[in-house]
Amino acid sequence: MSAAAAAPSPDDADLLDAYSRAVVGVVERAGPATVSLEIGGNRMGGGAGSGFVVTPDGYVMTNSHVVSGGKKIRARTPAGEVIEAQVMGDDPATDLAVVRIDVTGHPYLPIDGALTPRVGQLAVAIGNPLGFESTVSTGVISALGRSLRGKGNRLIDGVIQHTAPLNPGNSGGPLLDGTGRVIGVNTAIIARSQGIGFAIAVETAAWVLGELLQHGKVRRGWLGVGAIRRPLDRRLAYHHGLGSAAVEIQSIEKGSPAAAAGLRDGDLLVRFGTARIEGIDDLHRALRSWPPNAPAQLVVIRRGIRVTVEITPTWMT
């Protein structure tokens, strides 16, 4: 192949420039809101992580595992300012936490829980890996709806998988789209892997932020079931007027609301109250908004038969 034939076409150059401009624009908009968190006195003796300011009065979102057990937390801004920080709320179940720094008018990144990331779109991670502040890495969203085990072995659903390289210290930093909007909070990598990073989805982050700011803790309904998403047979779905999937109950905890309601392993949960249930995320959303100690009507498919069950979720904190 000749040198002329190997040279990039003008169209290729234009595409590269457009990509570069997009990343630069994201960094310019989001970079000033990202801070480095220095943790002292935790179980490991000290550490560092990332966070980003989410309100104009200095609330910072980060990971629970970054600040958990820390006796002294300091935030270092991209401008070099060091500010004492205080934990305002912590939710190990989703590996998210909120700290407060004493600033006003600082650049911030609003969290919009209505954003819906798409597989293949640009993903930009900003953080402080291995002490290198304001490091930027880019990639794409590889998959949506992944699950990770959080503290206490609780399953975190709706996790974003992406290819933007992450390293220790990136935890708690923002994952952004091509316009600088927050689409997730970086939380984990798989050791010895390449191009496999995970972020808590913005929908979950927005809900947790609201709970922590309003109540100082996260409140959630609990049924006491272990379950997975299960595609439905088309004939069964057509017969009962259902969608393409349901939540299959695989285990029931003793003494739980599910046990009291008589739910069984293998039941297919298709409706909670008025909400159609086609996956674990649907069930979590329904439980988030359900009033405490209020009974709910569950619709399940049990051995092909539609059954309505009354259940009262327990309000957990």
Give the up-direction half-sphere exposure of residue 75: CA atoms within 13 A in the CB hemisphere: 31
Q: What is the per-residue pLDDT for 42?
A: 56
Write down the pLDDT at residue 3.
45
pLDDT of residue 16: 62
Across the strands, what pairs with 188?
A: 198
- Which CATH architecture does the domain made up of 220-316 adopt? Roll (2.30)
Residues 6+ apart with CB under 8 A from 32: 77, 78, 79, 106, 107
pLDDT of residue 11: 61
- Mark whether 142 is an active-site residue: no
Q: What pLDDT score does 69 carry?
A: 80
For residues 192-202, b (16+ Cβ closer than 10 Å) or e, as one string? eeeebbbbbbb
Q: What is the CATH topology of the domain spanning 110-215?
A: Thrombin, subunit H (2.40.10)
pLDDT of residue 21: 85
The confidence score (pLDDT) of residue 93 equals 84
Q: Based on the residue annotation, tell me whether 106 is a catalytic residue of this protein.
A: no
Contacts of 95 (CB under 8 A, 6+ apart): 63, 64, 65, 148, 150, 151, 156, 187, 188, 200
Domain spans in the chain, listed from the N-terminal domain onward: 110-215, 220-316
Positions of the chain with pLDDT under 50? 1-5, 44-45
Q: Pick the catalytic residue: 36, 50, 142, 171?
A: 171
Active site residue 233: no
Q: Is the pTM of this model over 0.85?
A: no
pLDDT at 180: 92
From 36, 65, 91, 281, the catalytic residue: 65
